[in-house]
Amino acid sequence: MIVFIQMLEGFIVAVILHACQRARGAMRAARRVLRRSMLSRRLGRGGLAALIAILALAGALAGCSTAPGMRMSQPATLPTGEGTDNDAAQAQEQIPITEINLRLIQQLRAAAAPDNTWTMLEASSQPAHYTLGAGDVLDITVWDHPELIAAQSGQANSVSAQRSADPAPGFVIDQDGYLQFPYVGREHVAGMHIEDVQRLVQTRLSEVYQKPQVTVRIVSYRSKQIYVDGEVQSPGSLAINDVPMTLYQAVARAGGFTKNADQSQMVLVRDGKSYRLDLPAMLARNENPASIRLLNGDLLRVVAREDNGVYVMGEVSKPVTAVPMRNGKLMLSDAISQAGSIDSNTADPQQLYVIRGAEGTQPQVYHLDARSPVSMILANQFQLQSNDVVYVDSNGLVRLSRVLNLLLPAINAGLTAAVLTK
């Protein structure tokens, strides 16, 4: 049994030397404790006490490198590239850790790119007179000539609409853009204004009737549509009528936003280009989103708040994916609050980090010393971005406890085996 415990002591010393190669002074102290315990008393109470001291010292020294979980270090490094060349494979790019302070917050705000989306969309979506297209349904009335009205109501395509996709009673412009009417014939009207069609019908009928009085109006708008998708109550297609449709009107006709909608992350797709719309930011800049008019074929998507979440992990009460507020903003304090605050029993408030751009080419790491409640002022002004990672490190006592939890079961098993073999 004595020989076994001596071997166990030597094994623990080897683990300490491997785990903390840089702590040479502390290792010399560990060797002196071991040497004294082995030379003075082979076992006895002193040997057991020395063994316990060695274990405590091993946990204190090796906690920095063998404790389970993550731990931030300064400076952080990131591998750059891979290949067969050993020098290139071992090349690393240092990632500095930037302190979060008022100067940094002001710099981040000043570096934000100006948003001119509202100006571009307002200039490109000026109101235009409605032009007819394929699928539109017209009501053509010739006064004092009921036989023409009967011809209209007797058409097969003018049956009373029983479904939302069915046309209303009237004369439908076919897929080629032509309109068929008695005594007028088949005329191409796509791209024309309703006033032009009225004059055309009146001119043609003047060859048959004397001074005909003609009224033409649109009873169903079906040729121009926009599409609203995402976090709205009734997503789908919306028909554009003779009244220009604004951004707010489109959302209102789609039933309004859902509770999960992120109004700062709306996307408008037009002519193969995507435009990000931040409604709260527009209102803050005195820009009226209602001045943006939607055009035929536009796709408006309202993104869910979960799609732009922030990952909060480490020593917090509840690791969670924090979602932005309804205005689209998410401050560092908001993310910590959604995670149930920092765990006061295990966390080291001095080691709070924000990792940004982990998937990009220029990742950044920010550090905040949150020991003082005053630091929450900075946390309440530091705005997070989509896919940021907020990490709270553990304190030294917790790391020591975790090391001991890993070592003590193996030691107990060894002692039990030694006693059984005695």
> Is 187 exposed, middle or buried (CB count within 10 Å of its CB: 0-12, 13-18, 19+)?
middle
**Res 421: pLDDT:** 76
Q: Which of 37-51, 212-226, 303-317 has the lowest mean pLDDT?
A: 37-51
More confident residue, 136 or 68: 136
* Residue ranges per structural domain of the chain: 2-70+398-421, 76-99+309-395, 117-126+224-306, 137-220
Please determine, for residue 214, whether its predicted confidence score (pLDDT) is greater than 60. Answer: yes
Domain 76-99+309-395 has CATH 3.40.190.170: no
Cis? peptide before 169, omega within 30° of 0: no
CA distance 385 to 367: 15
Please determine, for residue 202, whether its predicted confidence score (pLDDT) is greater than 50. Answer: yes
Please determine, for residue 419, whether its predicted confidence score (pLDDT) is greater than 80. Answer: no
Say what percent of the chain tops pLDDT 90.
Answer: 31
Each residue's pLDDT tens digit, 372-409? 888 888 999 999 988 899 999 988 787 777 777 777 77
Each residue's pLDDT tens digit, 248-294? 999 999 999 999 898 888 999 998 899 999 898 888 888 888 888 99
Could you tell me which CATH class the domain 137-220 is placed in?
Answer: alpha beta
Which pTM was predicted?
Answer: 0.67
Q: Are 334 and 388 in contact (CB under 8 A)?
A: no
Intrachain domains 76-99+309-395 and 117-126+224-306 with the same fold: yes
CATH fold for domain 117-126+224-306:
Outer membrane lipoprotein wza fold like (3.10.560)
Q: For 273-331, give the DSSP string.
A: EEEEE-HHHHHHTT--GGGPBP-TT-EEEEEEGGGG-EEEEESBSS-EEE---TTS--B
> Per mean pLDDT, which of 55-59, 71-75, 173-177, 241-245 is the most reliable?
173-177
Letter string b/e over residues 373-405, b meaning 16 or more CB atoms within 10 A of that residue's CB: eebeebbebbbbeebbbbbbbbbeebbbbbbbe
